[in-house]
Amino acid sequence: MADVHMRTDAMSNPPSAASFQITRLSTVAGAAIEGLDLSQPIDDAVKDAILGAFRRHHVLAFRNQSLTDAQQYAFSENFGPLEEHVHRMRDGSKSPLVHLVTNLDADGQPTTTPHTHGNYYWHTDKSYHEIPSLATLLHAIILPPSGGDTQFANTRLAYDALPEEKKREIAGLRIVHSWEVSRRNTKNKPATKAEIRDRPPVTHPLVRTHPDTGEKTLYIGCHTSHIEGMPVEEGRALLQELLEHTEQPQFIYTHKWLPGDLVMWDNRCLLHRAVA
């Protein structure tokens, strides 16, 4: 998979907004988009149509794409500046802005212990940033013969389903998000000194308001450390309770990848994880 993260913040015959079809995949999240060639530039009308579908469906699967890293980069830039990943490569260098997500070992063989396996845990990308990600775009290049699905949990639906008493209990709480703690939570190799320096802990509201829709969402996942002003173990128990609530089947869309899928998802209202 080729992965790129984005921050919130000329061709003669470009695709038009009328040239592609959007098909809903699930009532939880998810829509397939067919009829677009993302290797070519898009115009403002197409971009606006994509953003409208993104707000409605949260997960967009652009079918039948064949993209170089540069083309994936160029398409992603339509929606905001791209951002680095704090995680270092095996040689200590920073990950490129478009980087591979793989279950292959150094010899190119499938392994149950890849270099990093945090993607198997529920998370929202870059929540340990002061300004978290708007979206992530993941391109299916080589797929396994079976399995390898990606699950998305709708944290707006999960929040809405909470009892009113629980909503009052968590209103105003703030969570510490930390790359260093995330590495411990996912039983990965510890964060390096350089990574800790680059990404110190940050705090975000436990109940986050989606900036586009105004809806309330739960901002949780494996990047979280503890709740400010609450005993650590008590806060972590509350976070685990909310995570178990959010991962119920009625809040989950499971994306079964097709070759060439480019999937773009909204980090502001979704948790996700890979199915090993």
Give the model's pLDDT for residue 12: 38
Dihedral of alpha carbons 208, 214, 216, 220, sign? negative
The total number of residues shown for the chain amounts to: 276
What pLDDT, on a 0 to 100 scale, did the predictor assign at position 9?
39
Check residue 39 and give its pLDDT: 96
Q: Which of 155, 254, 263, 274 is nearest to 209 (CA)?
A: 155
Q: Tell me how far CA of residue 202 lies from CA of 94, 123, 170, 181, in angstroms.
A: 21, 15, 18, 12
> With contact defined as beta carbons under 8 Å apart, do 210 and 217 qualify?
yes
Nearest residue to 3 via CA among 121, 95, 132, 88: 95
Q: Check residue 101 and give its pLDDT.
A: 82
pLDDT at 17: 52
Return the pLDDT at 10.
Answer: 33
Per-residue pLDDT of the chain (276 residues; tens, 9 = 90+): 556 554 443 333 445 555 799 999 999 999 999 999 999 999 999 999 999 999 999 999 999 999 999 999 999 999 999 988 887 676 777 778 888 888 888 888 888 776 677 788 999 999 999 999 999 999 999 998 888 899 999 999 999 999 999 999 999 999 999 999 999 999 988 999 989 999 999 999 999 999 999 999 999 999 999 999 999 999 999 999 999 999 999 999 999 999 999 999 999 999 999 997
| Phi, psi angles (nearest 5°) of residue 106 | -65, -20
The pLDDT value recorded for residue 5 is 55
Helix (H, G, I), strand (E, B) or coil at 151: strand
Distances (CA, A) of 57 to 15, 26, 51, 241: 21, 9, 10, 26
Asked whether 262 and 36 are in contact (CB, 8 A), the reply is no
